[in-house]
Structure 1
Amino acid sequence: MTAAEGVRIVVIGSTMVDMISYMPRVPDAGETLVGDHFALGFGGKGANQAVMARRLGADVWMVGCLGVDAFGDMTLENFAASGIDTTFVTRTPDVSSGVAPIWVEAGGDNRIVCVPGANACMTEDQARTAVESVAGVDVVIGQFEVPQNVTTAGFRAAKERGAITVLNPAPAAEISPDLLAVTDWLIPNEVEFAFLSKDSGISSGPTDAAVSDLAQRLGVHIVATLGEAGAAVFNGTRPVVRITPVPVEVVDTTGAGDAFVGAFSYGLAAGLSPATAARLGCACATSSVTRAGTQSSFPLAAQIGEALAWATNVP
């Protein structure tokens, strides 16, 4: 399979500048450690998902808010270099652009602190106008690093236009009923799945029964991402489908979930089945963990071709 043409995706979400420290292990309280090395990169769940979808070939519009600062300037330059439309990215002089200090341990596990900054200044009108303005939009993506009411407004406009809505409920939080009502696909990781399931009596993790139960209780389709174990897909009618990725040597897991969301959303927009779209998501996420960084780790042209081939070569 080759990348599809004419795919149009709007991402309502966050932008962050990642400040990544690599270390043998994280320090204990009150302890100082000497790290291995440091990297400054571009992140934010919304921006990451937008970049992944764009690398697959989608036309992508980013909806977000930046501060009037150097990080904001850098972020706009990065979007331009990535080929992402920033017509609907606003700037505010009142707060800083979003930042994310990240610790990465040997073995690739990470710990992340998000400081939203200007991301919290997005408005419902901004999201609604963006979705209504993009001709032929196929998929609208949202996350929890911007206010839920903003995402709700954008999703409501998407549903009115017949577009698919994909919500990544991260960081873990309760989902407003209004947002659930206009969400088609929910993509939690294992931590977020456990949080959303805490009131249902589920304690066994994302088993097939737990995935289908949560989907039916919330009234959505679900893809639970499971790290190196892949993903579990439930579309509301067929049994849960498990996707198992190819084992790789992990360098850095930062951004892998966002690579999955961006690729899965692209797959849906391109007309792939949910299971095949999830295979594409797993392939892109798996590729990303073999390299350091966030957006800098996402697959490029050669790896994209390999990911598409693996996703569509269903045994």
Structure 2
Amino acid sequence: MTAPMTVAAVGVHVLDTHVLGIESIPEGSDGQLVETIRMSPAGTAGGTAVVLSRLGAAVRSFGAVGADPVGDTLLGLLEREGVDVRGLARKADAQTSASVLPVRPNGDRPAWHCIGANGLFTLDDLPADALEGVTHLHLGGPEFLGGEAAGELLARARGLGITTSVDILAPGDPDMLEWVAGALPHTDYLLPNDEQVLGFTGAASLVEGAQALVSRGAGCVAVTQGRRGALVATAESVVEVPAYAIEVVDTTGCGDAFSAGFLRGLSLGQKPADAAALGCATAAQVAQGLGTDAGVYDLEAVLKFEGSAEVVRG
């Protein structure tokens, strides 16, 4: 459980504002009392960074945020979780990326989102020593860099013996897959959700879609399926991993939590299917609270949960 892991979490960092207890949007200028309003660090890089830090990894964040109070808040929340934020560039000409998420009683959460500084991030924002001492590079949102630049970064990392993973933020669309295609041959682990896989590939089934992404160059594709758990595909096999039976409060950040648990499992020497089970167990911690930083847990607690919790059948 103490296996060393030093992660460069590169890409999308967002400040989420969650509003819990929303059943409808008030008409006109009417107001409504809600249960909770809270902020949390998020994004395919930022959210994963938080959870990896909780699971015992040393994490450095790289990306772009605004030189604004929203950015101050986001950096403070990341630092409180033990994430090294010195690699986050401050952009004076853009606001920090932010989302507002009204959470319905069943855990669904539509969103209002401002891209902000994430849209200005380039490889030039990375310090020269960004990959020094790193064992794992996690790129969240390669579409903001484009496939060519993302592939350049990932190839550089792999040339240094660093394991690479990629989580695409955008919805599934064949054109988006082509935009980031240059990154796939340099990706050890691709971490999409089921809707993205089907949208990217146009496949009739999730198995076919995951296998198609492997054929495009990804070494392993670990797909989240919500309450159905995960599916792990390589060139040799496809394995389904069940989710855990829990009472869902908010599904925000569950994909990022799965990514963190999956990657941490790999760093502990687990096979991909076993690492996916740890990913599902980690996502279960987040789903029982509000936001990516929900609850209080560490690697030992998640492993204990994984060994005792009931899985979803059927």
Please indicate, yes or no, whether the TM-score normalized by the shorter chain is above 0.5: yes
Between the aligned partners of 1:63 and 1:85, the Cα distance in structure 2 is 9
The yes-or-no answer on 1:67 pairing with 2:71 is no
Which residue of the partner structure matches residue 234 of structure 2?
235
Given that residues 7 and 57 in structure 2 are in contact (C-alpha distance below 8 angstroms), is that contact kept between their aligned partners in structure 1?
yes
Deviations 1:173-220 (A, max 9, x none): 33423212211211111221121122xxx234x1x3443234224544
Given that residues 250 and 289 in structure 1 are in contact (C-alpha distance below 8 angstroms), is that contact kept between their aligned partners in structure 2?
yes
Between the aligned partners of 2:142 and 2:216, the Cα distance in structure 1 is 24
Query: Could you tell me which of 2, 9, 13 is aligned with 2:11?
Result: 13
**TM-score normalised to the size of structure 2?**
0.86
Deviations 1:18-46 (A, max 9, x none): 12123443549989773623223322221
Between the aligned partners of 1:158 and 1:195, the Cα distance in structure 2 is 28
Gaps of 5+ in 2: 310-314
Between the aligned partners of 1:126 and 1:194, the Cα distance in structure 2 is 33
SS of equivalent residue, structure 1 residue 282: helix
Q: 1:218 to 1:302 in 2, by over 3 A?
A: closer
Between the aligned partners of 2:252 and 2:185, the Cα distance in structure 1 is 30
Q: Which moved more, 1:251-260 or 1:267-276?
A: 267-276
Deviations 1:273-298 (A, max 9, x none): 11111111000001211112232347
Tell me which amino acid in the other structure corresponds to 2:66: G
The yes-or-no answer on 1:164 pairing with 2:163 is yes
Between the aligned partners of 2:139 and 2:27, the Cα distance in structure 1 is 34
Given that residues 267 and 280 in structure 1 are in contact (C-alpha distance below 8 angstroms), is that contact kept between their aligned partners in structure 2?
yes
The yes-or-no answer on 1:203 pairing with 2:204 is yes
Length, aligned pairs only: 301
Deviations 1:31-80 (A, max 9, x none): 97736232233222211100111111011111011111112112222222
Tell me which amino acid in the other structure corresponds to 2:90: R
Gaps of 5+ in 1: none
Which residue of the partner structure matches residue 189 of structure 1?
193
Between the aligned partners of 1:161 and 1:308, the Cα distance in structure 2 is 33
Given that residues 150 and 183 in structure 2 are in contact (C-alpha distance below 8 angstroms), is that contact kept between their aligned partners in structure 1?
yes
SS of equivalent residue, structure 1 residue 176: helix
Q: Which moved more, 1:119-128 or 1:228-237?
A: 119-128
Q: 1:130 to 1:253 in 2, by over 3 A?
A: farther
Which residue of the partner structure matches residue 312 of structure 2?
none
Deviations 1:95-129 (A, max 9, x none): 11111111211110112233121122222133473
Which residue of the partner structure matches residue 44 of structure 1?
43
Between the aligned partners of 2:128 and 2:152, the Cα distance in structure 1 is 9
SS of equivalent residue, structure 1 residue 272: coil
Between the aligned partners of 2:46 and 2:80, the Cα distance in structure 1 is 13
Q: 1:299 to 1:191 in 2, by over 3 A?
A: farther
Which residue of the partner structure matches residue 140 of structure 1?
137
Q: Which moved more, 1:246-255 or 1:177-186?
A: 177-186
Deviations 1:239-280 (A, max 9, x none): 211111221111111111110011111222232211111111
Between the aligned partners of 1:266 and 1:6, the Cα distance in structure 2 is 10
Given that residues 131 and 154 in structure 1 are in contact (C-alpha distance below 8 angstroms), is that contact kept between their aligned partners in structure 2?
no
CA shift for structure 1 position 166: 0.9
Between the aligned partners of 1:16 and 1:145, the Cα distance in structure 2 is 15
The yes-or-no answer on 1:22 pairing with 2:46 is no
Tell me which amino acid in the other structure corresponds to 2:139: G
Q: Superposition RMSD on alpha carbons, in Å?
A: 2.6
